[in-house]
């Protein structure tokens, strides 16, 4: 079993929105959802804490994910939108409370420093250590729950270490997926505050214009937690070769997502069957990042496997997050050395966070 680092899971949002007890085995989660029709991913879950352990996932970035949108129409529990930033903040704090209780019960360990990461990693690497909790670096997908630059300090004190300014559509701070436009004044202010704090910027979901402006405005460390290549699967949600080169120049690591629509050109949600795409497609995206960089130092995993979809929208050979182990074999078959495979499965994220988490 190889140790993995997955830079994008929405564990708390998934648990609270889908009412899933993630401490349960995967088949229990899916059995409970038999017959539920409120969301296409019911009965199709691929992520639970026992499954992460079985799959060798030693560390993940766990998000807080709550959007503010005053025009919200939908009433489903699984909708991401909240009527105001204050409500989004409170929803985000609720997700944080979920992580804190999982930590108190010994299921996860929230990692906020390089030292804590090193200690956690050496426990995970030790033979025979089986009851090590999942290491969790707290991140935020869309910064609507940060109402003022001052609030950024409070979230930092709560353990937040990575933040992306937007998700789909317009956030308080930037323009995200499905649209294009610049950062807002508040967004520029927030990036300056992030610089002062040492917060890591996640550029995933930034629209092209906001991406350019964020890289110019922000001088700290950047990563792309779950982003694939536009050259392979055209969509502005993905990064162009030029954008990826800029990220590589900045020392970023890019996590490849295993959402089928980001791996297969022309995927139509709810229509295209998973049979059309395999995990080899994810290796194609990883390989492209490596070719652009001229080395294997910048490609990694950011699976997004619990981000509002399940096996109805994953590669056909991935039915649980534990199947991420297959990626190592796929890369080895393509001629990647053992050291390169390890870098992609965990080493690159480990190096990045050892360098950029506070000591
Ligand atoms: Zn996302």
Q: Identify the pLDDT of residue 79.
A: 85
pLDDT at 167: 97
**Gap from CA of 129 to ligand 1 centroid (Å):** 32
What's the CA-to-centroid distance between 276 and ligand 1, angstroms? 22
**Residue 77: its pLDDT value, please?**
79
Can you say how many angstroms the Cα of residue 73 is from the centroid of all Cα atoms in its chain? 26
Mean pLDDT within 252-280: 95
pLDDT of res. 232: 98
Q: Which residues of 274-288 are buried (b: 16+ CB within 10 A; e: fewer)?
A: beebbbbbbbbbbbb
Question: Residue 332 in contact with residue 287, Cβ under 8 Å?
Answer: no
pLDDT at res. 128: 77
- Centre of ligand 1 from the C-alpha of residue 48, in Å: 18
- What would the pLDDT profile of 139-173 be if each residue is shown by its tens digit? 999 999 999 999 999 999 999 999 999 999 999 99
Share of the chain above pLDDT 90, in %: 95
Distance 215 CA to ligand 1 centre (A): 19
How many angstroms is it from 297 CA to the middle of ligand 1? 23
Burial bucket for residue 22 (CB in 10 Å: 0-12, 13-18, 19+): buried
34 Cα–ligand 1 center, Å: 26
Report the pLDDT value the prediction gives residue 192, as an integer from 0 to 100: 98
Tell me, in angstroms, the distance from the centre of ligand 1 to residue 102's CA. Answer: 23
Give bridge partners of residue 63 from the DSSP assignment. Answer: 139
Q: Give the rounded distance of the alpha carbon of 287 from its chain centre.
A: 19
Give the Å distance between the CA of 9 and the centre of ligand 1. 9
- Residue the block writes with tokens 């990064």: 239
pLDDT at 235 over 80: yes
Q: What is the pLDDT of residues 168-198, one digit of tens each?
A: 999 999 999 999 999 999 999 999 999 999 9
Task: Please give the distance, rounded to the nearest whole angstrom, from the Cα atom of residue 301 to the centre of ligand 1.
Answer: 13
Cα of 8 from ligand 1 centre, angstroms: 8
Q: Is the pLDDT of residue 73 over 90?
A: no
- Looking at residue 171, its pLDDT comes to 96
Q: What gap in Å lies between CA 286 and CA 159, rounded to an integer?
A: 30
pTM of the predicted model over 0.85: yes
* Whether 62 contacts 162, CB under 8 Å: no
CA of 130 to the centre of ligand 1 (A): 31
* Spacing, Cα 308 to ligand 1 middle (Å): 9
Q: How far is the CA of 304 from the centre of ligand 1 (A)?
A: 7
Confidence of residue 78 (pLDDT cuts 50, 70, 90): confident
* Statement: residue 312 has pLDDT above 80: yes
Ligand 1 centre distance from Cα of residue 216 (Å): 22
Tell how far the Cα of 259 is from the centroid of ligand 1, in angstroms: 10
Residue 310 to residue 320: CA distance in whole angstroms? 9
Question: Per-residue confidence at 228, pLDDT binned at 50, 70, 90?
Answer: very high
Q: What angle do CA 236, 239, 243 make, to 5 degrees?
A: 125
C-alpha 58 – ligand 1 centre gap (Å): 21
CA of 307 to the centre of ligand 1 (A): 7
- Region 253-261: mean pLDDT is 98
CA of 36 to the centre of ligand 1 (A): 24
Q: Average pLDDT over the chain, rounded to whole?
A: 97
Residue 206 has what pLDDT?
98
- pLDDT of 74 strictly over 80: no
Structure tokens at 293: 């960089």
- Ligand 1 geometric centre to CA of 325 (Å): 22
Tokens representing 9?
């899971």
In this predicted structure, what is the pLDDT of residue 328? 98
- pLDDT, tens digit, 9 for 90 and up, residues 30-45: 999 999 999 999 999 9
pLDDT over 90 (residue 57) = yes
Q: What is the CA(252)–ligand 1 centre distance, in A?
A: 17
How many angstroms is it from 201 CA to the middle of ligand 1?
14
Can you give the pLDDT at residue 252?
98
How close is the Cα of 167 to the center of ligand 1, in Å?
6
């Amino acid at each position: 079993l190889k140790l993995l680092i997955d830079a994008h899971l929405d564990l708390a949002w998934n648990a609270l929105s889908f009412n899933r007890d993630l401490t349960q085995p995967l088949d229990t989660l899916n059995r409970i959802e038999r017959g539920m029709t409120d969301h296409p991913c019911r009965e199709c879950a691929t992520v639970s804490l026992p499954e992460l352990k079985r799959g060798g996932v030693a560390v993940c970035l766990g998000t807080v994910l709550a959007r503010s949108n005053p025009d919200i129409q939908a009433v489903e529990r699984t909708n991401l939108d909240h009527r105001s930033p204050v409500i989004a903040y409170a929803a985000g704090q609720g997700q944080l409370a979920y992580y804190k209780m999982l930590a108190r019960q010994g299921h996860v360990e929230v990692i906020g420093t390089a030292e804590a990461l090193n200690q956690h990693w050496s426990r995970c690497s030790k033979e025979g250590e089986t009851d090590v909790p999942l290491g969790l670096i707290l991140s935020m997908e869309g910064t609507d729950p940060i109402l003022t630059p001052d609030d950024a300090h409070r979230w930092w004190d709560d353990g937040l270490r990575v933040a992306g300014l937007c998700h789909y559509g317009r956030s308080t701070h930037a323009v995200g997926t499905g649209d294009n436009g610049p950062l807002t004044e508040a967004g520029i202010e927030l990036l300056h505050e992030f610089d002062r704090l040492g917060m890591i910027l996640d550029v995933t979901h930034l629209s092209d214009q906001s991406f350019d402006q964020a890289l110019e405005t922000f001088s700290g460390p950047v990563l792309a937690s779950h982003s694939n290549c536009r050259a392979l699967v055209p969509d502005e949600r993905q990064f162009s070769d030029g954008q990826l080169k800029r990220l590589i120049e900045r020392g970023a690591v890019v996590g490849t997502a295993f959402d089928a629509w980001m791996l297969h050109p022309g995927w139509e949600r709810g229509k295209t069957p998973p049979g059309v795409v395999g995990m080899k497609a994810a290796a194609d995206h990883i390989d492209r990042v490596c070719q652009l960089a001229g080395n294997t130092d910048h490609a990694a995993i950011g699976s997004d496997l619990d981000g509002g979809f399940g096996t109805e929208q994953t590669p056909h050979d991935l039915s649980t997050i534990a199947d991420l182990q297959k990626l190592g074999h796929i890369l080895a078959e393509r001629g990647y050395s053992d050291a390169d495979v390890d870098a992609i499965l965990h080493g690159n994220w480990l190096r990045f966070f050892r360098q950029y988490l506070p000591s």
